[in-house]
Structure 1
Amino acid sequence: MPTNKSPIQNDQTALNAAYQLADLALEQRNLRDQKRILPHEIIKTLVEKGLAAIRVPKQYGGAYVSNQTLAQIFRILAKADANIGQIPQNGFGVQNIIRLVGSEQQKEFVFSEILKGKFIANGGPERNSQDTKSIHTRLDIENNQYFVTGEKFYSTGSQFADWLAIKAQHPEGYLVLVLIDRHAKGVTVVDDWHGFGQRTTSSGSVKLERVNVNPLLIFDERGLTAQNSARGAYSQLLQVAIDVGIAEAAFQDTLSTIRKARPIADANVERASQEPYTLQEVGKLDVLLSAAILLLDDAAAYLDELESANHISDAQIAEASIKVAEAKIYAHHAALTISEKLFELGGSRSSLSQHNLDQHWRNARVHTLHDPVRWKYFALGNYYLNGVHPARHAWI
């Protein structure tokens, strides 16, 4: 029986908390972005409100909100501040892995700690490896003690973490996921992320020098391939929701900017919002954004359908990945197109640094680099033309 309960017990209270946090996140968003001020207080509030624990399964005291609600929450947060939308994303991916492969003892302990307020951040891929699946960080076992040594980058949320989720090579040659105390001896977190977008996500380096770890917090990732799950689609769903949130923020600012802009002289209208070509472009942007939202909702609904099933087939897993890939393509183009059109339709004044409107394009451009859409198109074509199922990992 769970000894802890989240302050959030259903989908509606989760949404209410997300809207409240979004209001807080919006207040000094521009200042944080321009000065690279990390949002420590906002993430602390996110945890206190229980938003980091909304996917803890009900049997362990959590609300386990639907994927549709989860996607909407990420849209809400990313619309307010794309950085706040991204920071908790990896923690939900880690919780899902633990739900799938953890022992009962591991799940009871970890989920209990999350409900108490433990925040999980990503230990990140490795900077100079061949690809994202190449891991040089290692787990060493000596005299029944466990040590992790390595270096990570793109460690989103690491400055806010209680636990860092680190992937490492087990001595026997397989991958493990290890939860490491952020303040343990041998752990160094460096805020050296200098991307031009997503500036305040704390996505820098984590250095691990023979860090002693609790064996209860080591998870064998081989269990992910030993069962059928839509883990990859779930992971990608959150990425899509962040992109949609960025697109929504850009669209909102596009409308308000046009309303303040001067019309082109040749248009012979009083306001820029009456220009016929501007109206046409805004209509196109609205359709693009609406399609992205609908595809996201459809993919999330399908994942909810699979979670309620007793058995998931290979074909259903493939369909889930395809649905999310289709949503990702539209979200990608919506975020980039709308955030760029904002300036074309808003005029020269929209480029003034005091408005900080370029943050939408910068955030969209950086965040959409996580999962290149050229491979989404490939997956779709191969699926529909050749019947080939997408690869099973967190990037499809």
Structure 2
Amino acid sequence: MTDTLTDTSTAHARAAAKYRPVFERIAAGALDRELARELPFEQINWLREAGFGAARIPAEFGGDGLGWAEFTDLLIELATADSHIPQALRGHIALVEDSLYHHGRGDDRSGWLRRFAAGELAGNAWTEPGAGGTATVLAETDAGLVLDGRKFYTTGTIFADWIDVTAKRPDGSHVSVIVATRTSGVETYDDWDGFGQRLTGSGTTVFTNAAVDPAHVFAFENRFPYQTALYQHILLVVLAGIAQAAVTEAGTQVRERKRVFGNGNAPLVRQDPQILQVVGEISAKAYVARAAALSVAHSLDRVFAAREQGADVEKAANIAAELESARAQTVLSTLVPEAAGAIFNALGASSTSASKALDRHWRNARTVATHNPFIYKARIVGDWEVNAAEPPFIWGIGEAAAQEAAGAAGLPLPAGTRDQPGTAG
């Protein structure tokens, strides 16, 4: 593998020309899908066929060779078209990154890179229901390795060919297991009932005596070290896209509105300076959201490059990426819901019509903002600024006593209690 991901400006121009027509098709039906609660199977297949799942993969394996800044630019455009889809691809993007990080470093991941370049997609199955811990078990039987367990928040898996699963062996060691969705004993359900991001496919997946290829089992401790920053980054992308969608929506609704209030400031709403101020403020917040996401993207480019620059450089880059994503999350988690909700300040009561679903932007933004609570991220950043305390790279949700015991013993948190990709809590 060559680590040079092509000339990114040229690669970005080619990729944008290829994917933007697909984004436009996706945007055209977004409102209808929201109203009908129709999962975007067809739209994700359009992206699959266009090769979007291989945007980060080097050209030598059949991808676009984009750096994180260029890929983020396109992801924000996709999130503007339909905020559900980048989140549904979150687990896939992370598994591609894990393959890129490890390939050529004593580990041949070319098979996975070529699968993804051929259009195969991955979902995730990390989080488990209940108080915490990992109950999903990878066991050796006479017939070979089998997987048994139940996972929730398995975002994107319903659309995918592969599932990135966390499990433990009977000896207690934690592993990552990649399982084909077509495997007998694998069932995925669309039972996510959140009020926002309803079309991400974040439901339950159950494994019952599901066969596992030994070559598809990896020690969890060897996951790429900046995965938490990357998972958070995709949520920042989603928020930036929602903010831009709110700008577009506000502009359209104000421009087309005919009814005016008698105590307004102009004969047409689109000429009213107070209404224009509202739209301008929404636009400014969307600008900040995009800028923040792109800033984090540059930190991911730096941390990816740092993996070849020695342990000290890599550690510093990982800390920087984690802190950047946390700072951006702390701001955007309130800024974007504010922007999405401000649409109604520019319009009348008719804007609350369910047929317009203008509330979807706020609902989606607020749902994304509940992931990995930003109040804790703000405290982590503050601890760094005051005490130079390194940020944690893995944290969890579950039974406090179990997590405290693990920490006291110097053990990593069980995979099922970590803050997982696709979780809502």
TM-score w.r.t. length of structure 2: 0.84
The equivalent of 2:369 in structure 1 is: 368
Matches within 5 A, 1:260-339: 260-261=256-257, 262-309=259-306, 310-311=309-310, 312-339=313-340
2:81 & 2:100 partners in 1: Cα distance?
Answer: 30
Say yes or no: does 1:82 pair with 2:83.
yes
1:125 match: secondary structure: coil
Is the alpha carbon distance of 1:11 and 1:212 closer, same or farther for their aligned partners in structure 2, counting shifts above 3 Å? same
User: What is residue 127 of structure 1 aligned with on the other side?
Assistant: 129
Aligned partner of 2:182 in structure 1 is: 183
Contact residue 120 and residue 164 of structure 1 kept, 8 A: yes
CA distance in 2: counterparts of 1:129 and 1:15, whole angstroms: 44
Structure 2 residue runs without a partner (length 5+): 3-7, 396-418, 421-425
SS in structure 2 of the partner of residue 208 of structure 1: strand
Question: Cα distance, 1:59 vs. partner?
Answer: 5.4
Counterpart residue type for residue 126 of structure 1 = E
3-state SS of the aligned residue for 1:375? helix
3-state SS of the aligned residue for 1:68?
helix
CA distance 1:117–1:284, change in 2 (3 Å): closer
Aligned letter for 1:181?
Answer: A
Instruction: Give 1:109's aligned residue.
Output: 111
Distance 1:166 1:306 in 2: 25
**What residue is the counterpart of 2:350 in the other structure?**
349
How far apart are 1:99 and its partner, in Å? 3.4
Give the whole-Å Cα distance in 2 for the aligned partners of 1:332 and 1:303: 20
Give yes or no for the alignment of 1:202 onto 2:208: no
CA distance in 1, matches of 2:62, 2:27: 30
Change (3 A) 1:104 1:58: farther
User: What are the superposed Cα offsets for residues 252-286 of structure 1, whole Å, 9 maximum, x if unpaired?
Assistant: 11122222344432234212233343333333333
Contact 2:48–2:119 (CA<8 Å) still a contact in 1?
Answer: yes
Which residue matches 2:233? Answer: 237
* Counterpart code for 1:14: A
Q: Which residue is 1:24 aligned to? A: 25
Q: Which moved more, 1:281-290 or 1:382-391?
A: 281-290
Check 1:237–1:345 CA distance in 2 against 1; reply closer, same or farther (3 A cut): same
More moved, 364-373 vs 57-66 = 57-66
Q: Distance in 1 between matches of 2:31 and 2:204?
A: 24
Moved more, 33-42 or 308-317: 308-317
d(CA) in 2 for partners of 1:127, 1:366: 19
Corresponding residue for residue 139 of structure 2: 140
Q: 2:249 aligns with which of 237, 248, 253?
A: 253
Partner of 1:63: 64
- Aligned amino acid, residue 247 of structure 1: A
The 8 Å contact of residues 124 and 156 in structure 1, kept in 2 or not, is answered as no
Q: Is the 8 A contact 1:15 1:69 kept in 2?
A: no
| Cα distance between partner residues in 2 of 1:277 and 1:374 | 33
Deviation per residue, 1:318-346 (Å, 9 max, x gap): 12111122222333223201111111222
249-258 or 313-322, larger mean C-alpha shift: 313-322
State the AA in 1 paired with 2:231: S
Count of aligned pairs: 385
1:58 Cα offset (Å):
5.0
Partner deviation per Cα, 1:281-329 (whole Å, 9 max, x = no partner):
3333332222222222222123223333423343332121111222223
Structure 1 residues 367 and 383, CA, compared in 2 at 3 Å: closer, same or farther? same
State the identity as a percent: 26
* 8 A contact 1:71–1:237 mirrored in 2: no
CA distance in 2, matches of 1:104, 1:51: 27
Alpha-carbon distance change, 345 to 292 in structure 1, aligned in 2, over 3 angstroms: same
Distance in 2 (CA, whole Å) between partners of 1:293 and 1:21 is 21
For residues 172 and 144 of structure 1, the distance between their equivalents in structure 2, rounded to whole angstroms, comes to 19
Would the aligned equivalents of 2:56 and 2:68 in 1 still touch at CA under 8 Å?
no
Deviating more after overlay: 231-240 vs 93-102: 93-102
| Whole-angstrom distance in 1 between the partners of 2:372 and 2:359 | 22
CA 1:36/1:76 → structure 2, altered by over 3 Å: closer, same or farther? same
Look up the match of 1:5: none
SS of 1:265's equivalent?
coil
Residue identity matched to 2:267? E
Of stretches 11-20 and 339-348 in structure 1, the one that deviates more from structure 2 is 11-20
RMSD of the alignment, in Å?
2.4
Q: Which amino acid counterpart does residue 292 of structure 2 have in structure 1? A: L
Give the superposition deviation at 1:244.
0.4
1:195-215 residue CA offsets vs partner (Å, 9 max, x unmatched): 221122211111100111101
Out of 329-338 and 65-74, give the one that drifted further.
329-338
Looking at structure 1, the residues matched to 265 and 11 of structure 2 have their Cα atoms a distance apart, in angstroms, of 53
Q: TM-score, normalised to structure 1's length?
A: 0.90
Please identify, of 147-156 and 370-379, the stretch whose mean Cα deviation from structure 2 is larger. 370-379
Post-superposition CA distance 1:44-81 (Å, at most 9, x none): 11111110112224554433311101211211111001
Equivalent-residue separation in structure 2 for 1:150 and 1:38 (angstroms):
25
Preserved CA contact (<8 Å) 1:197 1:365: yes
Indicate the SS of the match to 2:109: helix
Change (3 A) 1:161 1:313: closer
